[in-house]
Chain A
């Protein structure tokens, strides 16, 4: 005779099949919950879901916009996977993104009347440095003073946002900007080249795909990737094997910060073209969802970034056509993460019915 309620038993090895199916299950459940919410609000669910998920990408321009939104999300998420694989909870990517935009954008403002081929590479480099430096603060504090990186990286987000705010209303304000809190526009050579005429998808996409490929190589083909993975699974095993945990923490934070910084720079030198207060609609936090949804795998992250980018676009269309505030996109993002985290149980644990007799 079996007991009525299943009991949860931890798997010796996480289930590979479930690893693949759990993200899909959670997306389906999110869509079902979303339609229920639309019905409750008095909308035709088919029309609402169409407005949200199909109509935004039914034109070439829409697909280009999808890639514009997915670019920073994928780039930050792949950076985060260096940390998350090693069980380092860096949740401050939004701050690292902001600092990247400040460093890179600062170069852009300094050379606002220069047109030269070296300007954009220099800005990208500065963006990576800015993000990496901001990411290294929690790494130093964690390794030197044993502070909790979750709390420090989170606090640093707000410090970075206030620094940006100070710069664009203060020293870096556009002298010809009619006192709007924004900087001078960057010069033409300080902008990300557009990939297709008339669309906004930019060179940042190429950088992102390149860095995802490099990361795939590091994760699967190098000792470093192996060390990250081992110390994530079992810190003790990593210690016995002689891996230097301090170096790994520094490496993960620096890479993640640099990627987030490049993402921030790509935003300000891509679609935006100058610095102002709201350069990121929470990309740094949303990328955490992307990293989880993509199961920290490069290919998974590409797909996940497109799915989550669609919630941003859908929310904009929903605001236009259904008069729903665009923040509704956050509901879908929250829901998909809830379902994903709940369903993760199926990856690491299995449900069994204990024999009673």
Chain B
């Protein structure tokens, strides 16, 4: 095997995996605060379509990403309002967000299918994705604010008793998650593809959700997990291109199977699950209790 081929594959893996890192790290922050948002796929799609439309209309990459992130904040803000203020069920609300996002993005993007755009070089975002993981890791384990966020995810009643605003911290964590998912989506429609197509995130939102569990809620492991999942996908494409008659579906299901195995391994031990998963995940916080 020559060096060029290896470098070429490495390049493809880096470019293809970046959206998983963005969406995964966003969802990780949300889950660390004790909220499970199943709306990742929906927020990615709306982020992707809004960036694309703004780019076609204005021609400005900056505006495209700006509006896309804004769309992520609005979408996740809607989710946050429902789960935090109206205390709705997080699972159902997240699914509603995904279903709504799939519909909204298809409708908004209908007349933009097939519109050509000049794609943006992905490298800035590839580097930024590494940076954001280390920033989140630093934030969690080296700053007081990060400690408070983790405390809210572990025991919201204790954090509340200590005088921290559970609702405010969760709200901000959800918004961060939403903006990262939208960034992942806009990266796909503007750098990776570059085009708009209905449902173009192709299940990456669900992989990102699996990724957070696979990473046992640790930021650096999101990066490692994303590159394992992304690498497997690229490997599968290359093997098929080489004409190997191995069913690619088994590669495609690997991330989900691996996540279930990891979940079993960490959950079977009481201490290990306590050290991994935020203890208040999916539990609503109600002050009056």
Contacts and interface: CB of A to CB of B under 8 A. Distances in A.
Which one of A8, A91, A162 has the highest number of Cβ atoms from chain B below 10 Å of its Cβ?
A162
A152 B250 contact: no
Interface stretch (B118-126, B151-159, B253-261): B253-261
B96 A337 contact: yes
B100 A341 contact: no
Interface stretch (A163-171, A205-213, A257-265): A163-171
A324 B106 CA distance: 9
Contacts of B267: 141, 145-148
B12 interface: no
Contacts of B106: 325, 327-328, 330
B220 interface: no
B288 interface: yes
A159 B103 contact: no
Give the size range of B's interface with the partner.
35 or more
B238 interface: no
A155 interface: yes
Contacts of B209: 151, 154
B273 A146 contact: yes
A341 B260 CA distance: 29
Interface string B14-38: 0000000000000000000000101
Given A150-B36, A338-B96, A159 B263 contact: no
A89 B102 CA distance: 22
B10 interface: no
Interface residues of A, number: 51
A332 B98 CA distance: 12
Given A147-B267, A148-B263, A337 B86 contact: no
Interface in B244-289: 247, 249-250, 252-253, 256-257, 259-260, 263-264, 267-268, 270, 273, 277, 282, 286, 288-289
A147 B273 CA distance: 9
Contacts of A344: 86, 88-89
B37 to A, nearest CB: 12
Interface in A335-357: 335, 337-338, 341-342, 344-345, 349
B53 to A, nearest CB: 14
A288 B92 contact: yes
Contact of B103 (A7, A165, A331, A349): A331
B103 A334 contact: yes
Contacts of A328: 103, 106-107
A9 interface: yes
Interface string B212-225: 01000000000000
A285 B102 CA distance: 13
Contacts of A9: 288
B206 interface: yes
A300 to B, nearest CB: 16
B38 to A, nearest CB: 8
A285 B43 CA distance: 17
B200 interface: no
Contacts of A331: 100, 103-104, 107
B264 A158 contact: no
A302 interface: no
B110 interface: yes
A165 B249 contact: yes
A186 interface: no
A282 to B, nearest CB: 8
A144 B42 CA distance: 33
Which one of A8, A154, A289 has the highest number of Cβ atoms from chain B below 10 Å of its Cβ?
A154
A337 to B, nearest CB: 4
A201 to B, nearest CB: 26
B31 to A, nearest CB: 11
B110 A163 contact: no
B217 to A, nearest CB: 12
Given A145-B267, A341-B88, A158 B260 contact: no
A292 interface: yes
Contact of A159 (B42, B247, B257, B270): B257
Contact of A158 (B78, B97, B203, B268): B203
Given A327-B198, A345-B87, A337 B95 contact: yes
B93 interface: yes
B82 interface: yes
Interface of A: 7-10, 41, 89, 91, 141, 144-148, 150-152, 154-156, 158-159, 162-163, 165-166, 169-170, 282, 285-286, 288-289, 292, 324-325, 327-335, 337-338, 341-342, 344-345, 349
21 contacts: A10-B289, A145-B268, A151-B209, A151-B263, A154-B209, A155-B210, A155-B257, A163-B249, A165-B249, A166-B247, A288-B92, A292-B92, A327-B103, A327-B198, A330-B106, A331-B103, A334-B96, A334-B101, A334-B104, A341-B89, A344-B86
Given A89-B91, A147-B260, A331-B100, 19 more contacts: A8-B87, A8-B286, A146-B270, A150-B36, A151-B263, A158-B203, A162-B249, A286-B99, A288-B92, A324-B110, A327-B199, A329-B103, A330-B102, A334-B98, A337-B92, A338-B93, A341-B82, A341-B86, A345-B88
